[in-house]
Every structure is written in structure tokens, then in C-alpha cells.
Amino acid sequence: MKVRMADKVEQFRTVWMEGLTVKIINQVKLPYEFEILDLKNYKETGEAIRNMNIRGAGAIGAAAGYAVAQAALEAPSQSYDACLKYIEEAADYIKSTRPTAQNLFYAVDRVLGMARSVKSILGAKLSAKKVAQQIADEDANACKSIGEHGEPLIKDGFKILTHCNAGWLAFVDYGSAISPIYTAKEKGKNVFVYVGETRPRLQGASLTAWELSQEGIEHKVIADNMSGWLMQLGKVDMVIVGADRIAANGDVANKIGTYEKAVLAKVNKVPFYVAAPTSTFDISCKTGRDITIEERSEGEVLYIKGYCSKTKSVEEVRITPEGSHALNYAFDVTPAKCITGIITEKGIIVAKKKSIEALLK
């Protein structure tokens, strides 16, 4: 997608690989600074995933696939067994970086599986990089198709609520929840977006709002606890969110606060859609109760970062009393019964086991 520089507009993907180096847009610096990080080995890429320099289901999936490819290219070449052992140990490390997003595990297992299947050192190295690139390309293409399938749901003049960031920064390109909005704008529709701020990491306020600004889409950032009131006032026509993992029965794990939005939408009879590529589905999870929910550092809640106009720098400040502690679940699970439909690259389905099984055949 496009990024407006001082004197030009450039096209970027969120993550890509050049030689042995994985390059990512450093989301920690946005919206104050646009920076590209060079990650020179699989451990650096893994730490970027863990530290949320790159985030979003598809983006960390692609980064994880590239990280396994880096490991394959770095692996010792004295024997196939030594090479494979190195790749397998790297895969285990990469899987440990974030526990909830299915795309990460999908990408790691797929690249590792290819490396295992070729039975030669050179084959393992070359095939790992090739498959990692395929995963990234497939993610971008899937998200473009999600936009095409979801766009007809959006009527001219619609006011849409979204939560967290499920735009192109969260995937390799185009995004999931925001992709239909981009497509609607391309087709000349007038669209307005309410951007939930998404405490505690503020992905909505910092990332989604930045994306929409780049694309010239009208929007307003709202406090997370305002959405129900807007729905009650009739100011929200639909809700579209992304997903980090979708269970076999249609339950959806997504950024903390998604469940609240879904319940409020159901009570207020507002359509609630989830947008995700098929790589986000995990049929090994029978229901949402089987999904591992990441718990992150309490510091993300106790402190907040922002740009200080006086010092002209990004600063971190404590917003709670000394001695207070925080609970910080990063995700929640929205039951399938609260979901109007799931927008995928293959079309829109209902959040039910039979529909998901048919989709994944």
C-alpha cells in the first residue's frame, strides 16, 4: 500500500525479504516516524515478532515464515541432519514468540514441512525461502480478495466501526477488516470509519488511523468504551474486525475488546463481520475455549507512550498510582453466535462448523 513521504508517495509491503535480511515496517515507531528495520537472522526476526515491532495475524505469519527461511539459509551445511536440526530448533523458538495468532504457526509448520520433505541440504535451504515467499504472496492476494468479497456489504455513506488494526500493516498488504473499506473507496463510495483506540497498545489510534490518513479515508478515533453508545444512537451501520485465530465452530480470537463490540452489536442489531484469510482458521481448536490467550506485561497497562509537543519526542509516562498492578490479556474470544458472517478470500460464510468445513475443503 502507499505511504506518503515528504515529497512523494511510495508503495510498500509490511514485511519482505532481501537476500538473508527480513525487512519490516517498524510499527512501534508509527505514527510518529516511518522506519524500516533490517533483521539479519532468525533470532532478530523472532524478537521483532515478540516485541511487536511487527504485529497483526498475517504480518507475523509472513515474518515467521521468513524467519524459518533465514534459519534454513543460516543452517550448517556439513550434514543434512545437522541442517535440519538447526531449522527445527529455530522453528520452536519462533513459535514461542506469540502464542495466539494461528498464521504464525501455519507459516512455521509449512516452511519447516517443506524443508523436511526435500531430504537435501541445498533443497532445504532453497525450498524454505521459496515457500516463505509464497506464504507472503498468498497473504497479500487473499487480503485483496477479502476486500472484493466484502465491499458489496458496504453501502454508500456507511459509518463503519473497527477495532485494533486489521489493515495492511497487520498483513503483508491490503489487510483484512480494512480491505473492504479500501475497495469501497476505490469504487467511489463515501465511507466513514470509527477507529476504536484499542487500549493498551493503541493499535487503532496509532496504526489504523495512520493507514486511513494515508488513504484519505474520513475517520475519527474514539475511546474504546464509546462504541456501545454510538450503536445505540444509530450512528454505526456495521462493524468489521479482524481475527488472530478462528476455531472449528466459528468462535473467533481477536484483540481484547472485540467480544464487547460483538455483544453490543448484537444487542443493537448492528451487523458484525469478521474478516480473515483461510490461513487464520484452526480446525484443531474445536471451540474458542481451546485457544491459548496471550497475557502480556502489566507495564503496557500501567504506562502509556505518546508524542510530547514540548520535548518533540516520544515519551512514556505512568498513568496509575505507584504500587498498583494490572491484568493484561491481549486477546479475547467472540462466540460464533455473535458473528453475522466471516469474510474470507473465498467468499463470505456464516460462523458455523459445517460452513467452515466446506470452506476449507
Alpha carbon separation from 78 to 11, 121, 309, 331 (Å, rounded):
41, 9, 56, 43
* Residue 198: closest CA among 162, 164, 241: 164
pLDDT value for 78: 86
Residue type, 183: T
Q: Is the predicted pLDDT of residue 224 greater than 80, yes or no? A: yes
Condensed to tens digits (0 to 9), the pLDDT of residues 27-63 reads 999 999 999 999 999 999 999 999 999 999 899 999 9
117 and 72 in a common domain: yes
Q: Is the predicted pLDDT of residue 137 greater than 80, yes or no? A: yes
List the CATH number of the domain containing 115.
1.20.120.420
Is the model more confident about 342 or about 9? Answer: 342
pLDDT value for 285: 96
Beta strands in 120-249 (DSSP E): 159-162, 192-196, 219-222, 238-241, 245-247
pLDDT value for 10: 86
Q: Is the predicted pLDDT of residue 2 greater than 90, yes or no? A: no
225 and 136 in a common domain: no
Model pTM score: 0.92
120 and 166 in a common domain: no
Burial class for 234, CB neighbours closer than 10 Å (0-12, 13-18, 19+): exposed
Domain that holds residue 287: 147-359
Average pLDDT of every residue of the chain: 95
Q: State how far Cα 319 lies from the chain centre.
A: 27
Candidates 244, 251, 282, 332; catalytic one: 244
pLDDT category of residue 142 using cuts at 50, 70 and 90:
very high
Alpha carbon separation from 144 to 71, 137, 194 (Å, rounded):
30, 11, 22
pLDDT category of residue 309 using cuts at 50, 70 and 90:
confident
Q: Which three cell numbers stand for residue 331?
A: 486477546
Q: Is the predicted pLDDT of residue 258 greater than 90, yes or no? A: yes
| Dist. CA 20–CA 69, nearest whole Å | 9
290 and 344 in a common domain: yes
156 and 57 in a common domain: no
Known catalytic residue: 7? no
pLDDT value for 227: 97
Query: What is the percentage of the chain residues whose pLDDT exceeds 70?
Result: 100
194 and 75 in a common domain: no
198 and 94 in a common domain: no
pLDDT value for 7: 74
Domain boundary among 89, 109, 144: 144
31 and 159 in a common domain: no
Q: What is the arrangement of strands in the sheet containing 15-18, beginning at the earlier edge strand?
A: 15-18, 21-25, 36-39
pLDDT category of residue 162 using cuts at 50, 70 and 90:
very high
Contacts with 269 (C-beta within 8 Å, 6 or more apart), sequence order: none
pLDDT value for 272: 98
pLDDT value for 5: 76
pLDDT value for 180: 98
224 and 85 in a common domain: no
pLDDT category of residue 100 using cuts at 50, 70 and 90:
confident
* Residue 211: closest CA among 249, 251, 182, 172: 182
List the CATH number of the domain containing 318.
3.40.50.10470
Domain boundary among 144, 162, 194: 144
252 and 125 in a common domain: no
Domain boundary among 94, 112, 144: 144
Q: b/e map of 329-340 (b: 16 or more CB within 10 Å)?
A: ebbbbbbbebbb
Residue 238 backbone dihedrals phi, psi, to 5 degrees: -165, 160
Domain count for the chain:
2
| Mean pLDDT, rounded, for 232-237 | 98
346 and 230 in a common domain: yes
162 and 114 in a common domain: no
| Dist. CA 15–CA 63, nearest whole Å | 7
Contact 85, 78 (CB under 8 A): no
Q: Is the predicted pLDDT of residue 203 greater than 80, yes or no? A: yes
Residue 36 host element (H or E):
strand 36-39
pLDDT category of residue 118 using cuts at 50, 70 and 90:
confident
Owner of C-alpha cell 453490543: 264
| Dist. CA 26–CA 261, nearest whole Å | 28
